[in-house]
Structures are given as C-alpha cells and as structure tokens.
Homo-oligomer: A and B are copies of this chain.
C-alpha cells in the first residue's frame, strides 16, 4: 500500500541523476503546482481553479496532484500564502520614522493582494500561513519598537491588520463589480431615491481608492499615536 505523502513537511526526494536530457514537461513538484495554481487563479478566478485544469497545465494527470497535496483546500491555502510572500528588509531596529514604515508596509501588503484579486476573497476562509504570520510578526515588531504600550499592542496590531484586510477586500470587490457596468449603472439609477446621502457623496462612484486608503490609515495612526501618548510623527499636512 502506498504511503502517500501527507504532512507535506518532507521535500520531494530528488533523484540522483535526472536522465532524459530534454524532457518537455519537468516533473511535478509542490512549487510548480502552487505557482501554476496562482497563474490559473490570476487568469480564471476562483472558480476557474480545477484540479483537472491545474493538472492539464502541468502536463500531468489529475490524480498525480494528490501525491503532493492533500486536497484542493490545501492548494488554496498554499496559493494564498505564496502570494503574500514578503520580500524586503526585516528591520528590527528602531527606525527614525516608524509611522512611515508602517504606512509603507501596509501599502505594500495591500498592493500584493490587489495584484491577485482572488486572494482577498480567499483570505477570510483560509488559515494563517507562514508568510501571513511573517508579515504580522514584522508589523508587531515595528509597533513594539515604536513604543506602543504593551497593553495597547494587540489592539494596535489587530486594528491595522483589520483595516488593511477590509480595505483590500472592499477595493477588490469593486473592481470585480465594475466588470458588469450595465448592472452597476441600473443599480445606481435608483440610488438617489433611497440612499440620498450615499448618492450625494458619490461614495460608490468615482472614488479615489488609493487616496481613501491612505487617509483612513492616517486616521487610524493618528488615533493610535494619540492613544499611546506619542505625537503623530511624520503626519503629512
């Protein structure tokens, strides 16, 4: 009976010598599976990812995937976490401008997810992978180093995290909805009648998403600095 790799902790055992010199399809591997899954998700969206389609793209049979992966759920987990990989300085020391650091960090986070809009929809249902945890760790370290009181630290971390998640999801959702402009148009036609304030503020129409994100983040950081007794260093006028 085949033992079937389960925990996914052991690397794929590499053969000593790869024989065939010009193989068309390289062998399956966890890395290739995840990378191709991301491609497929980018191209076709969440419903476009199918085990059979994924295997086709890899030049393999559908069931071959299951040697490397427990089930489809873990493909989603791995794809999501891979998209959130953070490449950048792991600055642990105190920066002169912690606030700019945080803004930069969170904007990069948001950008990573908007580059793969499906990731925002996926995040709510999936576990925290190592890359997500790394980003949390970095955020945590930065805030801690910035002098946020221990009693406020968790609330600070979570509020920033939540804000980024929510803003990204909202934004990604609007991108998607704008695909079918006709529905949007006719929906907005009846808005002014029932939702006058929304209509007047043009909340749903020509929003500057990047600017809005930044502005809300500034609100949050202002309150945070105020709450922890530090002045809001580096706030732009």
Stretch at the interface among A25-33, A52-60, A97-105, A163-171: A163-171
Question: Closest approach, in angstroms, between the C-beta of A81 and any C-beta of chain B?
Answer: 13
A140, B197: Cβ atoms under 8 Å?
A: yes
Chain A interface residue bracket vs B: 35 or more
A172 at the interface (CB under 8 A from B): yes
Looking at A144, A159, A164, the one whose CB has the most chain B CB atoms below 10 A away is A159
Stretch at the interface among A14-22, A62-70, A211-219: A211-219
A124, B127: Cβ atoms under 8 Å?
A: no
Q: From B137, B196, B203, B226, give the contact of A222 (CB < 8 A).
A: B226
Q: What chain B residues lie within 8 Å of A177 (beta carbons)?
A: 127-128
B167, A162: Cβ atoms under 8 Å?
A: yes
Looking at A159, A207, A222, A223, the one whose CB has the most chain B CB atoms below 10 A away is A223
Q: What chain B residues lie within 8 Å of A215 (beta carbons)?
A: 152, 155, 159
Q: From B121, B153, B163, B204, give the contact of A163 (CB < 8 A).
A: B163
Asked if A170 meets B159 with Cβ closer than 8 Å, knowing A130-B194, A226-B222, the reply is no
A170, B162: Cβ atoms under 8 Å?
A: yes
Question: Closest approach, in angstroms, between the C-beta of A108 and any C-beta of chain B?
Answer: 17
